[in-house]
């Protein structure tokens, strides 16, 4: 039976008393804010809502839009500001079990705007709760962990027609905002301009829905035996004590360096562009493309813009229209001109009357102007594709380099291939990389900093494995000598120097050495793999030696016959399969990766699995488990649900992997359905392997960050985990405490999560910026 909804707008003494009592009576209470924007440091809270019982919601407006004066106005109840009332009521939430959807957003706003810190009182974030028991989220929706997406996915269990209600709410809300002159675009959504009764109902519905989802998924959490993992071991402690603080803390930027690099990269872009343009225009085939394109886009004509340009070129004395500012090309006006080939052309349109060179100059000038002053747009895949494939006659060497329509595809892979042979393509490759570095790093930090500080986001449910989804993860990996052109190395390697510790502060930068391979060795239980790390050998060299049966070489980094010294190509080849095979890579994928034949790829995989027998056993056992149960659990308790594997296996067993059997199934089910089922099955069998390693690596880093923050508080040290970048933790610390705290950080990172058979290593560096320590 559907509960009656009781939603209240708190505007008078009676509803205020009801809200006050509701907070006092509720142990578990959902909280949400409505704000004037998305920046918790600059924007305002226009109101907040709570729900302590399903079907009940209260919305207290603190700022309401004054339509006459076009501004937000503070509300009062019994002569007292609702902002003051809010501060007092929000303090009553301290000690309660608070439920949020995206708690970091709401808690940062409440702390910054009202001065009430509710972060330590976050009990459940429903986005994280759903992720823990159903890590795919509302698959097929724009935001798989959005409140409405989750609610629609579960509307039958919730007993609500959420999809219908959500659509109606959105339409009603947007219509109200637009009616009142507000914007409803994604970039600027002025929710506070909606009519108060509509906004209040929308806000109360959200907190009610948040509470309902929490109650529903707490049952699922208990059924799966994940309560301890969620509440004590990992999810919520890390969210409260690491994730939210990282998002709120931000990082100082070296603005002088940032602006200097901005100017330098612009100049280097310009130089490379000029080289590319000049090199291309020196090629006869390219000149032909320019000419043909110019004539195609701007064909000679005795009418329109082309004729206008012709008249300008010869300075013909024709009158101009006052209205359009263009020459009047009536026959009467043209006949007044002195006799010439141009006059005759304007009268007849016979192009043969004009000088070919003059015709070309006009069409090319018009083409160049329309193309931002260049004959070729070197960022246009269409332009370059036509030049390279049609005019220069170059065939794509990259596998799969075709569009869906079958045409040759010009992309970065093609540029990389061409760069090996053509100097202009190498400069184009560099130009494209410079553009990407500038837009992704330089411009982002320059455009989005707040008074010289940048705030990264950290989505704890951003990946299936529990690794953060974060713009901090997009920071480029430093390049070593020879890995790319010197100019690219310069800019890639300077990016982390933009991020600085701050005045009188340092960063402790600690990065786990080969974390996923360590997890790989521990989880599989393979003694030979564990031996690599316990002896300090090079992982890729040892794998190559075991897999390919190499003799006379060593994985010992100090040995004279160290494989990386003697045959770096062999070692690099091993990189392609060292983790890939553990993650389920099959021969076909390895063949495509290495560019070898099928038989060689099969022999490499066989050699690998024979060389590490316990790895082979782990792979088989993991797949048996997911086939039998439809899920896999990692070493510390995180679960990955893969029900499609179990369903397919129960019906067809492993025959789904046999292409002959799939051909038979196509008769009954159709090709597309069979292909999808096969891919889901194959991917699921691989996912059950890579999930165990990636999710364990994530847990190792996350749990270490949690203990580091707790230790800093315990010792009274001014230090906080500022960011996580893959397997690296950045701890911002007062300069005076850095030397003392660094070894503590190392001990925590290496020993918080003990892995069987291996010892983790995370040596710390004390630095002034993120580049020095990495």
134-139-142-144 Cα dihedral, nearest 10 degrees? 0
**Cα separation values, 55 from 199, 212, 680, Å:** 17, 9, 39
Least confident of 29-38, 243-252, 336-345, 539-548: 539-548
Q: Which helix (H) or strand (E) segment is 608 a member of?
A: helix 598-611
143-148-152-157 Cα dihedral, nearest 10 degrees? 120
Tell me the pLDDT tens digit for each residue of 13-26: 999 999 999 999 99
Helix (H, G, I), strand (E, B) or coil at 717: coil
Over residues 60-64, the mean pLDDT reads: 94
* Radius of gyration in angstroms for the set of CA atoms belonging to the chain, rounded to a whole number: 33
Write down the pLDDT at residue 32: 97
Numbers of helices and strands, H then E, in the chain: 34, 21
Tell me the pLDDT tens digit for each residue of 135-173: 987 766 668 888 888 888 888 888 777 777 777 778 888
* HSE value, Cβ hemisphere, 13 Å, CA-based, for 595: 4
Assign 647 a pLDDT band (cuts: 50, 70, 90): very high
Assign 400 a pLDDT band (cuts: 50, 70, 90): very low
The closest of 540, 526, 539 to 757, measured between CA atoms, is 526
Tell me the pLDDT tens digit for each residue of 178-199: 888 888 888 888 888 988 999 9
603 or 698, which is more confident?
Answer: 698
Burial class (CB in 10 A: 0-12, 13-18, 19+), 136: middle
Domain 516-636+644-686 has CATH 1.10.4010.10: no
Q: How many CB atoms lie within 10 A of CB 243?
A: 27
Separation CA 125–CA 345 (nearest Å) = 76
**Cα separation values, 124 from 31, 152, 215, Å:** 11, 20, 10
The closest of 581, 575, 635 to 609, measured between CA atoms, is 581
738: tokens are 């850095």
* Residue 728 pLDDT exceeds 90: yes
In terms of DSSP bridges, do strands 499-500 and 251-253 run parallel, antiparallel, or are they unpaired?
antiparallel
**Cα separation values, 159 from 55, 57, 213, 357, Å:** 12, 17, 11, 77
The closest of 451, 469, 510, 512 to 733, measured between CA atoms, is 510
Separation CA 624–CA 704 (nearest Å) = 32
Q: What percent of the chain has pLDDT over 70?
A: 97
**CB of 328 closer than 8 Å to CB of 335:** no
Write down the pLDDT at residue 3: 59
* Residue 605 pLDDT exceeds 50: yes
Tell me the pLDDT tens digit for each residue of 66-92: 888 888 999 999 999 999 999 999 999
54 or 587, which is more confident?
Answer: 54
The closest of 286, 531, 264, 258 to 389, measured between CA atoms, is 286
Please state, rounded to an integer, the average pLDDT across all residues of the chain. 91
Which residue matches tokens 């051909």?
A: 663
246 or 413, which is more confident?
Answer: 246
Tell me the pLDDT tens digit for each residue of 527-568: 988 998 888 898 889 888 888 888 899 999 899 999 988 888
Strand partners, 28: 97
Highest mean pLDDT among 191-195, 521-525, 713-717: 713-717
Domain 6-248 has CATH 3.30.420.10: yes
* Residue 729 pLDDT exceeds 70: yes
Chain region(s) in the chain for CATH 1.10.150.20: 516-636+644-686
Helix (H, G, I), strand (E, B) or coil at 98: strand
Chain region(s) in the chain for CATH 3.30.420.10: 6-248
Tell me the pLDDT tens digit for each residue of 433-463: 999 999 999 999 999 999 999 999 999 999 9
Separation CA 257–CA 20 (nearest Å) = 52
**Cα separation values, 66 from 43, 181, 198, 411, Å:** 17, 12, 15, 52
Please, what's the largest Cα pairwise distance for the chain? 99
Write down the pLDDT at residue 124: 98
Burial class (CB in 10 A: 0-12, 13-18, 19+), 230: buried
Write down the pLDDT at residue 586: 83
């Amino acid at each position: 039976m559907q509960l009656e909804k009781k939603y209240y707008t708190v505007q008078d003494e009676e509803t205020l008393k009801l809200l006050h009592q509701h907070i006092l009576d509720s142990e578990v209470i959902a909280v949400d804010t409505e704000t004037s924007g998305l920046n918790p440091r600059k924007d305002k809270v226009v109101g907040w809502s709570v729900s302590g019982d399903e079907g009940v919601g209260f919305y207290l407006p603190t700022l309401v839009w004054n339509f006459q004066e076009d501004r937000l106005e503070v509300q009062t109840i019994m002569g007292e500001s609702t902002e003051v009332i809010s501060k007092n009521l929000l303090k009553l939430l301290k000690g309660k079990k608070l439920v949020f959807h995206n708690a970091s957003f709401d808690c940062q706003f409440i702390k910054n705007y009202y001065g009430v810190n509710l972060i330590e009182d976050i009990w459940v974030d429903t986005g994280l709760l759903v992720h823990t028991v159903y890590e795919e989220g509302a698959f097929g929706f724009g935001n798989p962990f959005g409140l409405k997406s989750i609610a629609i996915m579960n509307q039958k269990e919730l007993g609500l027609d959420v999809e219908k209600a959500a659509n109606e709410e959105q339409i009603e809300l947007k219509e109200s905002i637009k009616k009142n002159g507000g914007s409803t675009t994604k970039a600027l959504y002025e929710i506070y301009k909606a009519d108060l009764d509509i906004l209040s109902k929308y806000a109360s519905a959200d907190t009610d829905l948040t509470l309902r989802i929490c109650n529903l998924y707490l049952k699922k959490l208990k059924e799966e035996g994940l309560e301890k993992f969620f509440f004590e071991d990992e999810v919520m402690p890390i969210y409260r004590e690491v994730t939210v603080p990282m998002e709120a803390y931000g990082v100082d930027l070296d603005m002088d360096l940032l602006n200097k690099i901005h100017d330098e990269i612009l100049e280097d872009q310009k130089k490379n562009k000029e080289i590319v343009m000049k090199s291309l225009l020196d090629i006869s085939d390219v000149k032909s493309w320019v000419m043909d394109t110019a004539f195609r886009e701007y064909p000679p004509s005795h009418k329109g813009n082309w004729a206008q340009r012709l008249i300008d070129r010869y300075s013909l004395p024709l009158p101009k229209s006052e209205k359009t500012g263009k020459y009047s090309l009536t026959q009467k006006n043209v006949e007044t001109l002195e006799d010439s080939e141009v006059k005759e052309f304007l009268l007849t349109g016979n192009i043969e009357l004009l000088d070919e060179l003059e015709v070309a100059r006009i069409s090319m000038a018009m083409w160049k102007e329309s193309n931002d002053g260049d004959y070729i747009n070197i960022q246009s895949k269409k332009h370059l594709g036509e030049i390279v494939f049609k005019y220069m006659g170059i065939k794509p060497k990259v596998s799969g380099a075709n569009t869906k329509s079958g045409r040759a595809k010009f992309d970065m892979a093609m540029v990389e291939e061409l760069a090996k042979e053509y100097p202009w393509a190498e400069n184009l490759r560099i130009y494209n990389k410079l553009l990407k570095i500038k837009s992704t790093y330089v411009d982002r930090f320059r455009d989005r900093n707040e008074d010289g500080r940048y705030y990264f986001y950290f989505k704890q449910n951003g990946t299936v494995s529990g690794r953060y989804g974060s713009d901090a993860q997009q920071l480029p990996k430093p390049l070593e000598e020879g890995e790319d052109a010197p100019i690219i190395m310069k800019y890639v390697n300077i990016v982390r120097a933009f991020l600085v510790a701050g005045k009188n502060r340092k960063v402790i930068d600690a990065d786990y050495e080969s974390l996923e391979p360590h997890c790989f060795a521990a989880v599989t239980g393979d003694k030979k793999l564990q031996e690599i790390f316990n002896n300090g050998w090079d992982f890729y060299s040892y794998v190559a030696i075991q897999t390919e049966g190499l003799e006379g070489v060593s994985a010992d980094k100090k040995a004279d016959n160290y494989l990386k010294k003697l045959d770096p190509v062999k070692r690099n080849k091993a990189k392609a399969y060292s983790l890939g095979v553990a993650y389920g890579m099959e021969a076909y994928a390895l063949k495509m990766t290495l560019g070898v034949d099928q038989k060689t790829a099969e022999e490499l995989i066989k050699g690998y699995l024979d060389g590490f027998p316990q790895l082979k056993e782990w792979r088989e056992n993991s797949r048996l488990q997911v086939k039998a149960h439809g899920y896999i659990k990692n070493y510390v308790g995180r679960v990955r649900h893969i029900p499609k594997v179990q369903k397919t296996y129960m019906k067809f067993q492993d025959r789904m992997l046999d292409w002959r059997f799939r051909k038979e199934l196509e008769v009954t089910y159709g090709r597309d359905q069979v292909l999808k089922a096969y891919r889901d099955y194959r991917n699921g069998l691989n996912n059950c392997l890579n999930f165990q390693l990636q999710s364990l690596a994530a847990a190792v880093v996350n749990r270490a960050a949690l203990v580091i923050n707790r230790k800093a508080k315990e010792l009274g040290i001014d230090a906080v985990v500022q960011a996580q970048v893959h397997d690296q933790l950045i701890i911002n610390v007062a300069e005076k405490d850095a030397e003392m705290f660094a070894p503590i950080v190392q001990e925590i990172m290496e020993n918080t999560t003990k892995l069987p058979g291996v010892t983790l290593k995370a040596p710390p560096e004390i630095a002034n910026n993120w580049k020095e320590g990495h």
